[in-house]
Amino acid sequence: MPEAAREEILATIRGALAKRGHTVEPRADADRRSIGLADLEKLVEQIQADCEQRRNDLIKQFETELTRTGGKFYRAENAQSVCQYVKEISSAQGARLAVGWDSPIIGESELIPSLEQSGIEFISDTERFEPGEFIGKAIEADIGISTVDYALADTGSLVVLSGRGRARSVSLLPPVHVAIVKSEQIIPGLDQVFPLLRYKSRISGEDLSSAIAFITGPSRTADIEMTLVVGAHGPKQLHVILFG
């Protein structure tokens, strides 16, 4: 994306957030210009240290903003409570099929065997599927389960990078989306996420720009008369589980 266009988009986002009463912090240097890897690494360390110092406040702010957008927030103290909460959601939906990411965090939560013991089939996005085959499974699924890369405290948004084992369809097609978040993934906002993503791109050598999705609350749309409809083009429910 051309630099001028990106700057215009970010300015529009900041203006919208300011109107909602959010405090918009000065933009990070790494978001203004290209800097060396060593300086970028130092900036990332500063961001991480600041987030750790503000951890509890960031979690509370994220919960408030997520709830404001219609999302549900749940604090899970351990793997058992993660499983219990997801099983409660599944029971309420009468779920029989769940799709999810091939993620270490999902494995750590022991969620897959827990769902299967409850009679719910879990299909993960793995290499064994042909192109397009997993999308068909996601269309049929009752619940989509993913992790996130970052969660933005100032808007209650989830930042998700898609890729192998991390199909975008998991968060888009099932009527219920469950996202598992670690506390260290919650950051203040856009001013921090772009340096972090740029650093990840530099380290991995991959262009991450086309794989980024921002999720803010359940899917919603409005017709020409501004009648709001939730879930018309995506999940009707968004549940965020803070794990650990």
Q: What secondary structure, in 3-state letters, does the chain show?
A: CCHHHHHHHHHHHHHHHHHCCCCCCCCCHHHHCCCCHHHHHHHHHHHHHHHHHCHHHHHHHHHHHHHHCCCEEEEECCHHHHHHHHHHHHHHHCCCEEEECCCHHHHHCCHHHHHHHCCCEEEECCCCCCCCHHHHHHHHCCEEEEECCEEECCCCEEEEECECCECCHHHHCCCEEEEEECHHHEECCHHHHHHHHHHHHHHHCCCCHHHEEEECCCCEEECCCCCEEECCCCCCEEEEEEEC
State residue 10's pLDDT score: 60
Average pLDDT over residues 167-195: 95
Name the phi and psi angles at 35, rounded to 5.
-125, 165
pLDDT digits (tens, 9 = 90+) for 79-115: 999 999 999 999 999 999 999 998 999 999 999 999 9
CB 132 within 8 A of CB 73: no
Structural domain count, the chain: 1
Q: How would residue 4 be classed by pLDDT, with cut points 50, 70 and 90?
A: low
Q: How would residue 202 be classed by pLDDT, with cut points 50, 70 and 90?
A: confident
pLDDT digits (tens, 9 = 90+) for 121-169: 999 988 678 768 999 999 999 999 999 999 999 999 999 998 888 999 9
Least confident of 22-31, 150-159, 166-175: 22-31
Domain at 94, CATH number: 3.40.50.10420
State residue 130's pLDDT score: 78
CB 99 within 8 A of CB 134: yes
Range of the domain at 83: 3-243
pLDDT digits (tens, 9 = 90+) for 36-74: 888 889 999 999 999 999 999 999 999 999 999 999 999
* Better-scored residue on pLDDT, 18 or 102: 102
